[in-house]
């Protein structure tokens, strides 16, 4: 069985379409028998994603630091919930449990997770694919910045091309798991 680690916001965002996409992704993963690995939260896009996957009969593995669990932000109804001591340990465990990474809209925590997984690939620590859902152009500015990094000589074109970018969920899932 394939597993995907999904990085996304612990907030719902300002537009209902973000929650809808998280719910759609959870259902799609369950239908395709792809295990969801994520940050273990019960709120925002993370909670909607996990709830949707569980409702559709999917397997959901959460990884959450004790600090966040203590704040009652942890999801208690998952297939598995791993409690770790730090954010760094969380990212490492999520990476170890997943066959690839998919990033939905989110903030700096989401970007931190994406960039760390992508950096692992650049450094040869792992060869798992990383994908970015550019929903409604959410990441257009980030993608432009990454192109600037290439143009200015701070990111090699081959590493820029490693990041899989799609505007729709289904093609992104196909490219990450195919």
Q: Could you say which architecture CATH assigns to the domain 3-177? A: 3-Layer(aba) Sandwich (3.40)
CB 38 within 8 A of CB 70: no
136 is written with which tokens?
């409604």
Q: Map out the domains of the chain as residue ranges.
A: 3-177
Q: What is the per-residue pLDDT for 1?
A: 58
> What does the pLDDT read at residue 178?
85
74, two tokens: 């942890």
d(CA 3, CA 35): 4
pLDDT means per 10 residues, the chain with 178 residues, are: 93 96 98 97 96 98 94 89 96 97 97 96 94 97 98 96 97 95
Check residue 140 and give its pLDDT: 98
If you ran DSSP here, which 8-state letter would residue 41 be given? Answer: B
DSSP secondary structure code for residue 135 in this structure: G
What is the SS3 assignment for 34?
coil
Report, in angstroms and rounded to the nearest whole number, the Rg of the chain calculated over CA atoms: 15
């Amino acid at each position: 069985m394939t597993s995907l680690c999904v990085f996304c916001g612990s907030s719902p965002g300002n537009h209902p379409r973000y929650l809808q996409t998280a719910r759609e992704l959870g259902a799609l993963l369950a239908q395709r028998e792809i295990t969801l690995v994520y940050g273990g939260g019960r709120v925002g896009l993370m909670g909607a994603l996990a709830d949707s996957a569980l409702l559709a009969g999917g397997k959901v593995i959460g990884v959450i630091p004790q600090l966040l669990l203590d704040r009652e932000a942890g999801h208690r109804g998952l297939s598995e919930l791993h409690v770790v001591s730090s954010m760094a340990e969380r990212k490492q465990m999520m990476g170890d449990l997943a066959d690839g990474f998919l990033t939905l809209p989110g903030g700096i925590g989401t970007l931190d997770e994406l960039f760390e997984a992508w950096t692992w690939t650049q450094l040869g620590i792992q060869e798992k694919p990383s994908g970015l859902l550019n929903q409604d152009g959410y990441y257009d500015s980030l993608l432009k910045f990454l192109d600037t990094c290439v143009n200015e000589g701070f990111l090699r074109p081959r590493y820029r091309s490693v990041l899989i970018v799609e505007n729709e969920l289904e093609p992104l899932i196909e490219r990450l798991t195919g």
